[in-house]
Chain A
Amino acid sequence: DAKTTQPPSMDCAEGRAANLPCNHSTISGNEYVYWYRQIHSQGPQYIIHGLKNNETNEMASLIITEDRKSSTLILPHATLRDTAVYYCIVRVAYTGNQFYFGTGTSLTVIP
């Protein structure tokens, strides 16, 4: 049972920042927000994760609101290769600490 809400699709112009929103209003205090993406016919690829603070790595930035009820994944300079389905996941804290994937946001980067 996914605990996140994402828009089903988004477009972004090549070279511009892509901002992908995610709502997770029922997140608990020790649960992390993860982002993965899946390019057609490949396995999901880890992007970034965070608990409370904003995070940045070589791929993206993750902005988490102070109340932790929503977050935004930012791809600073989108390229055509960033076209993929992006999954926002709240990792649920019980047996096994599993990931529950929703249906994600299909991002299309337009030339």
Chain B
Amino acid sequence: EAGVAQSPRYKIIEKRQSVAFWCNPISGHATLYWYQQILGQGPKLLIQFQNNGVVDDSQLPKDRFSAERLKGVDSTLKIQPAKLEDSAVYLCASSRGQDLSYEQYFGPGTRLTVT
């Protein structure tokens, strides 16, 4: 079974530029998550989708971050404009559903450096 795919793996941009990340979850997984992981910290949830609907985006800085999962499969996360403090690893994860007993599977992440 293929895992969660993410691209690109690395991205370097200047502040005020825009950037987009792509995620392809495990086939059949209804729930998709985007996390931000700053160096030395645990991952922090940004947004959670159930199929193509948003379940929770309370931690997403909506003035600059946006995410979509239009067909309930792939997802993109965009930052526009980027700030220095957005430098982090962006992780995508998926699970069969939202049930408490369903584990999440993570992709390798995209490491973003904002200069």
User: Interface residues, chain A, CB within 8 Å of chain B?
Assistant: 2, 30-32, 34, 41-46, 49, 51, 87, 91, 93, 95-104
Is the pair B100, A31 in contact by a Cβ cutoff of 8 Å? yes
Is the CB–CB distance between A44 and B43 below 8 Å? Answer: yes
Known A-B contacts: A30-B100, A97-B98, A99-B104. Give 6 more (CB < 8 A).
A42-B108, A43-B107, A87-B42, A93-B100, A97-B99, A103-B42
Cα distance A41–B105 in the bound complex, in angstroms: 16
**Which residues does chain B contribute within 8 Å of A44, judged by CB atoms?**
43, 91, 93, 106
Tally of contact residues, B, Cβ under 8 A = 26
Beyond A43-B106, A43-B107, A44-B91, whether A91 also contacts B42 by CB under 8 A is no
Bound-state CA distance A45–B43 (Å) is 12
Q: Which residues in chain B, 77-115, are within 8 Å of chain A measured between CB atoms?
A: 91, 93, 98-101, 103-109, 111
CB distance from B113 to the nearest CB of A (A): 14
- Shortest Cβ distance from residue A37 to the other chain B in the assembled complex, whole angstroms: 11
